[in-house]
Chain A
Amino acid sequence: GQNIDQPTEMTATEGAIVQINCTYQTSGFNGLFWYQQHAGEAPTFLSYNVLDGLEEKGRFSSFLSRSKGYSYLLLKELQMKDSASYLCAVMDSNYQLIWGAGTKLIIKP
């Protein structure tokens, strides 16, 4: 079956760095997405990786290793507004998104 694993919850301090990991097992691979979702709101797109390596976009970076079925989202200089759920999703061979359960990130002052 298809499976996306990510931690349920993480806590970090304002101004610090946090890494959210995601491992996946899917039937085919057409890219991995990270989305941010605040409570009661729809997800917003953060990043897309289809090739191995690191993609940097401001305070957020995303890494992919296809051979290991592994990705991480790195958030730097954490701000209180970064408190949200972070969803990892993989596009499978049918171009369907397979979603992880999300990681709730709690930022403490």
Chain B
Amino acid sequence: GAVVSQHPSRVICKSGTSVKIECRSLDFQATTMFWYRQFPKKSLMLMATSNEGSKATYEQGVEKDKFLINHASLTLSTLTVTSAHPEDSSFYICSAREGADYEQYFGPGTRLTVT
């Protein structure tokens, strides 16, 4: 089956620093990638949708200058949390979709803790 990897799985950083999270599709071409965040005991919240080679589409209320998304290739998307603050601490999950396929394949998630 389709596999999506995410790196790192856990990261702790100091307030004010930036953190980059990578999302890779290992055995398929991810024409569309999605970035979600999830707070404890809450559902997934879509942050942005990115198509390979084009700018990401951000959901309302998500700061594009704070959460930089790059989808430079069909197998890699990155999310950079810039000038991280403790309230950015969350579980970040990416998912990927191939072409017009309906199913999204999820990465294992990245637990970000900002101290």
Contact = CB atoms under 8 A, between A and B. Distances in A.
Contacts, number: 41
A48 B102 contact: yes
Interface stretch (A12-20, A55-63, A74-82, A97-105): A97-105
A61 B111 CA distance: 31
A96 B109 CA distance: 20
Contacts of A96: 46, 49
B49 A100 contact: no
B21 to A, nearest CB: 13
Interface residues of A, number: 20
Interface of B: 34, 41-46, 49, 91, 93, 102-109, 111
A107 interface: no
23 contacts: A30-B102, A40-B109, A40-B111, A41-B108, A42-B107, A42-B109, A43-B44, A43-B106, A45-B103, A45-B104, A45-B105, A45-B106, A48-B102, A48-B103, A87-B43, A87-B44, A91-B102, A96-B46, A97-B34, A97-B46, A97-B104, A99-B44, A104-B41
Contacts of B43: 87, 99-102
Contacts of A48: 102-103
A96 B97 CA distance: 11
